[in-house]
Amino acid sequence: MFVLGFAGCIGALRENSFLLKFFSVFLGIIFFLELTAGVLAFVFKDWIKDQLKFFINNNIRAYRDDIDLQNLIDFTQDYWECCGAFGPEDWNLNIYFNCTDTNLSREKCGVPFSCCTKDPAEDVINTQCGYDIRGKGDIEHKTFIHTKGCVPQFEKWLQENLTVVAGIFIGIALLQIFGICLAQNLLSDIEAVRESCLFT
């Protein structure tokens, strides 16, 4: 992006045809790649859903291994009020939270605190609210933790905010088309001035 911006800026300031052509062509390539990605995402939405599930489950496995990843998962689960990729049972993939007999962790059969429903009366977050919760009944699941997965919650969020997301993508596309048009306009003006100088 830096190279593209630099080429456009210097090409416009110095009236350099090569840099303006580079800027215009590269911006056009990016536009068509984005357009292709959007069409492919729409056509292969089931494949994308599977990849998202695979990505989330891999991150669940590594939840305690990387603090940044842990914070990202906690933020996602808290923001979308979800737990796991498709539900709390996805946390069986993590060595600390699984329900196997070989697991000696205190967090066995639990979920991270970001899966817990928030109590408005509590000012301090209870980081142990998810301990042993999956070992209890379904009624306690629904009372104390979010039972919906993050993939369905993301799909729901996307459908509810489709006009905003589409508007952002259309706005970016229009800016790119506008940039291409301005570069081509400046380029044609530069070439017109050069041709007029040759004939005088």
- Which band of pLDDT confidence, cut at 50, 70 and 90, is reported for residue 200? low
User: Considering the entire predicted model, what is its pTM?
Assistant: 0.70
Rounded to an integer, the average pLDDT of 67-79 is 93
Quick check: 81 and 148 in contact, CB under 8 A?
Answer: yes
Q: What is the DSSP letter of 91?
A: G
Quick check: 187 and 180 in contact, CB under 8 A?
Answer: no
Both tokens assigned to 171? 């706005």
Is residue 132 scored above 80 in pLDDT? yes
Q: What is the DSSP letter of 131?
A: T
User: What confidence tens digit (pLDDT) does each residue in 83-130 have?
Assistant: 999 999 999 999 999 988 888 888 899 999 999 998 777 778 888 888
Both tokens assigned to 137? 């009944």
User: What confidence tens digit (pLDDT) does each residue in 82-96 have?
Assistant: 999 999 999 999 999
Percent of the chain surpassing pLDDT 70 = 98
Listing DSSP states for 17-40 in one string gives HHHHHHHHHHHHHHHHHHHHHHHH
